[in-house]
Chains A and B, each alone.
Chain A
Amino acid sequence: MVRELEFKILCERHSDAIYRFAHSILANQADAEDATQEVLLRLWNSLPKLYPFNLRAWLLQTTRHYCLDQIRRRKQLAAPMLLDDEVMAEQPDEQAVNPSVAAESSSRLDQARKLLLKLPENLRSVFVLYEVNGLRYREIADVLGMPINSVKVYLLRARERLSILAKEEDLCQQTSRE
């Protein structure tokens, strides 16, 4: 009972961070959902053995390992991973009941995701962990297995590149409107 309650609280608290991180690596909603489920199941199985004070780092480290493992496995099987756009093209949209509202609300998020996906994996991970999930430098260093100084450099580079990409995107949109 106590374990279930603890698990429920941890799920509520960390599932968004796990999902966002998985989505940023796998670039696909369905795969990110699968990854989140898998990591939460691993949490349930490992809960009695885990030290409770660095759970967030453990969860995100497990998420990263799982996602990179999935990417590696699919490359070996020669089955390419579908990006969100490709999935949307193949399947009917769940939110198609009210397409205009759904499109408006998700377009900006999609645009942000597309820009993020243009970054290399390590820069993307550092950016999402720091800016979106709110981890500290030390936690990010634990999750990614790199020195704190590298985390700081990667974050700086990710910010610079994203900023440039966002400006380029704005310029493209302006020219297409004209």
Chain B
Amino acid sequence: MPADLSRIIRELKQETCPPRVRDEVRGRIHPQPNSPGRWWRIIPAMAAGLALVGGILVWQWPAGDEARLKTEMTRATPSHVQIASQTEAALGLIGGLLAEASAHSEQVISSRAVPPLRNGLRIAKNKIIEHLKP
């Protein structure tokens, strides 16, 4: 790619949405009760993500640290709050990636695995019918 084009792309990528736009939208939305209709679709991905995070936590959590963690949580400083918010954002990103991976898997299964299986079943059915014919 030419250097001038790369420069243009780099400049355009620096453009970000002003935070006030998001703040204003959050101020205008009205909390509504959750509808469970769409959640069943991403529950497997979320469960897998939670299991992974939980497994890592259990694995890296030495006994006796619980009390220390509790005291540290009570003494949370602004930096801790910042870390917590960054962790929240990271978990959100992981969730999104898992959801996208799940969608990809679904597409692959439906496009590659299902047609041969369907053909196989059809062939078997035809063979059985021919075999049963007098």
CA distance A12 to B95 in the complex (A): 14
> Is B17 a contact partner of A128 (Cβ separation < 8 A)?
no
> Is B22 a contact partner of A15 (Cβ separation < 8 A)?
yes
Number of A-B contacts (CB under 8 A): 112
A18 surroundings in chain B (CB, below 8 A): 17
> Is A11 a contact partner of B35 (Cβ separation < 8 A)?
no
Task: Given the known inter-chain contacts A33-B21, A51-B38, A109-B15, please indicate yes or no for A44 contacting B8, CB distance below 8 A.
Answer: no
A23 surroundings in chain B (CB, below 8 A): 15
CA distance A128 to B14 in the complex (A): 13
Q: Which one of A4, A13, A20, A132 lies within 8 Å of B92 (CB-CB)?
A: A13
Q: Chain A interface mostly helix, strand, loop or mixed?
A: helix
> Is B103 a contact partner of A19 (Cβ separation < 8 A)?
no
**How distant is B7 from chain A, measured CB to nearest CB, in Å?**
8
Which of B23-31, B60-68, B72-80, B125-133 makes up part of the contact surface? B23-31
CA distance A11 to B34 in the complex (A): 18
Q: Which one of B8, B17, B89, B99 lies within 8 Å of A15 (CB-CB)?
A: B17
CA distance A40 to B20 in the complex (A): 13
Tell me, yes or no, whether A162 is within 8 Å of chain B by CB: yes
Task: Given the known inter-chain contacts A41-B29, A166-B4, A170-B4, please indicate yes or no for A15 contacting B9, CB distance below 8 A.
Answer: no
Q: Which one of A20, A41, A50, A163 lies within 8 Å of B15 (CB-CB)?
A: A20
B1 surroundings in chain A (CB, below 8 A): 159
Tell me, yes or no, whether B32 is within 8 Å of chain A by CB: yes
Q: Which one of B5, B17, B24, B41 lies within 8 Å of A162 (CB-CB)?
A: B5
A15 surroundings in chain B (CB, below 8 A): 17, 21-22
Q: Which one of A9, A44, A159, A162 lies within 8 Å of B25 (CB-CB)?
A: A44
Task: Given the known inter-chain contacts A53-B103, A113-B12, please indicate yes or no for A167 contacting B4, CB distance below 8 A.
Answer: yes
CA distance A50 to B99 in the complex (A): 14
Tell me, yes or no, whether A37 is within 8 Å of chain B by CB: yes
A113 surroundings in chain B (CB, below 8 A): 12
Q: Quick one: which of A27-50 are within 8 Å of B by CB? A: 33, 36-37, 40-41, 44, 48-50
CA distance A159 to B7 in the complex (A): 12
> Is B21 a contact partner of A109 (Cβ separation < 8 A)?
no
A163 surroundings in chain B (CB, below 8 A): 2, 4-5
